[in-house]
Amino acid sequence: MLVSLPLAYLLLMAAAATFVFSFAMAKWIPGRKARIVFPAVSAACCLGMVLVGQLQYQHWSSRHMLVLYSFAWFGITVGLFPSRKLMHQYAEEIGRGVKREKYDVPARYTVFAVISVIVMSFMAYALSQ
């Protein structure tokens, strides 16, 4: 269904997912590095997913992988939303030079992020068939 859209729309969808993720992470994690690192990592992940899709036995098309990337990136953005204050706090501490031995993250935050990405990936698969 979504794979039948023109490639420009799929690229726009991937760019929107990258923008939303990068904007959220720059807001939640203060510092100049976040504004540079997260868009670069997102673009590398998108290219990596397209390449991996081409190397698969099933040969997933770049359209399928762009849909999967967009939905997965929105999923990780939604999944990290509950832990935004904790990430902000830890990033500020690191910026001030405070080092902890262990940065505790409650299990519910991790479970929510993983479930969010899995659900969005299944939705991407269902909508791309």
What is the pLDDT at residue 108? 97
What is the pLDDT at residue 68? 95
What is the separation of C-alpha 106 from the centre of its chain, rounded to a whole number of angstroms?
20
Question: Does the structure show a pLDDT above 90 at 54?
Answer: no
- Give 129's pLDDT tier (boundaries 50, 70, 90): confident
Phi then psi dihedrals of residue 105, to 5 deg: -125, 125
Place of tokens 């098309």: 61
Task: List pLDDT tens digits, range 27-37.
Answer: 999 888 888 99
Question: Does the structure show a pLDDT above 80 at 59?
Answer: no
In the chain, what is the greatest distance between 2 CA atoms, to the nearest angstrom? 51
The string of DSSP letters for 87-108 reads HHHHHHHHHHT---S-----HH
What is the pLDDT at residue 60? 83
Task: List pLDDT tens digits, range 4-23.
Answer: 999 999 999 999 999 999 99
